[in-house]
Amino acid sequence: MMKLLISFAGIVLAMAISFATAASLDSNSIRAQAKNFFEPLPKTMPGSEKDTAEKIALGEKLYFETALSVTGTQSCNTCHRLDENRGGVDNVKVSPGAPKGTMGTRNSPTVWNAGFHFVQFWDGRAADLKGQAKGPILNPVEMAMPSEEAAVAAIKKAGYEAEFAKVFGPNSLTYDNIAEAIAAFERTLITQDRFDAFLKGENNFSQEELAGLKAFMDNSCTICHSGPLLGARLYQKAGLMKPYPNQKDQGRFEATRNEVDRMMFKVPSLRNITKTEPYFHDGFTHRLDEAVKIMAEHQLNKNLDAQTTASIVAFLKTLENQRKFKRSTK
């Protein structure tokens, strides 16, 4: 009897499979499923309510200001590049610092949408953009300024005093306000992509992109990559199901020394992912298809076939930023 039932189930299953393969994927039903997991990007970033055009312009200048590094050669933009359509990163595994021979320890994350992240840095050691901005300027393997005072002096020497006064009031050229202005500028960096148009009702996805979105959801990638950013709202263990290849960097544990934080990293956002290679905290791979397969294997214990992987990559391309960055200050 059991055997008979299972045979019958097998026939039904076979029919279902052939039907699904032949039928075209329906935008509306996949969109309905997607809305359980994703939302379009908000139009403004938290904290931007009080940002003025002047503060943002000052922040933009500072973002590109090489005087903020000890050698006068690096700005925020050196590692988080907004020019050349690079997706807010420098596309190298880890980034060289200003002092000769220094090298960062983790892959430079993108500045686009960063202000939406639930915490900053791969390990969450800063709460917001302002806290983040204060880090690299003083980090000896990044911009390597010897102190906050030295950074303030350099910016004063570069002639910013009057502009700070205009934005923040008299005698306001402080380290805190340098970071605040940079953060204000960064709060304007919101991507725009085809996926949000799809979520809002446009039938702009190809069959392969629909298949990729469906595979992304059906394979539970959404457990970590959900919400408006497809990630960047939680930590997760790198190598949950199978140890991550590189165990040297223990993630959040390096900052907290709390055993629960071992190998825990911020789950990155997938917005604009096609432009932010190499992938993972150590820049392990430059290939997005390989990154997808590694995540499936190490996080979900799944072996994705080539076709499914390709369709997920096709879906991820719909997250590519179509908003070009253009400097508004010289």
Residues that bind its own copies (CB under 8 A): 2-3, 6-7, 9-11, 13-14, 36-37, 39, 42, 46, 116-118, 220, 222-223, 226-229, 232-237, 240-242, 252, 256-262, 264
The alpha helices in the chain, defined as continuous H runs, are: 2-22, 27-34, 53-63, 76-79, 129-138, 148-157, 161-168, 175-186, 194-199, 207-218, 252-256, 288-300, 306-317
Sorted by sequence, the CB contacts under 8 Å of residue 189 that are 6+ apart come out as: 82, 88, 111, 112, 113, 114, 115, 325
CA 130 centroid distance within chain: 17
Token output for 82: 């907004």
| In contact, 309 and 285? CB cutoff 8 Å | no
Q: Which of 231, 194, 233 is nearest to 314 (CA)?
A: 194
SS3 236: strand
Q: What angle do helix axes 207-218 and 306-317 make, rounded to 10 degrees?
A: 110
Q: Which of 82, 140, 104 is nearest to 275 (CA)?
A: 82
234 or 310: whose CB is closer to its own copies?
Answer: 234
Q: Which of 60, 65, 84, 142 is catalytic?
A: 142
Q: CA quadruple 41, 123, 121, 176: dihedral positive or negative?
A: positive
User: For residues 189 and 110, what is the distance between their CA atoms, to the nearest angstrom?
Assistant: 10
The alpha helices in 158-200, defined as continuous H runs, are: 161-168, 175-186, 194-199
Active site (annotated) includes residue 202: no
CA atoms within 13 A on the CB side of 157: 11
- Catalytically active residues, by annotation: 142
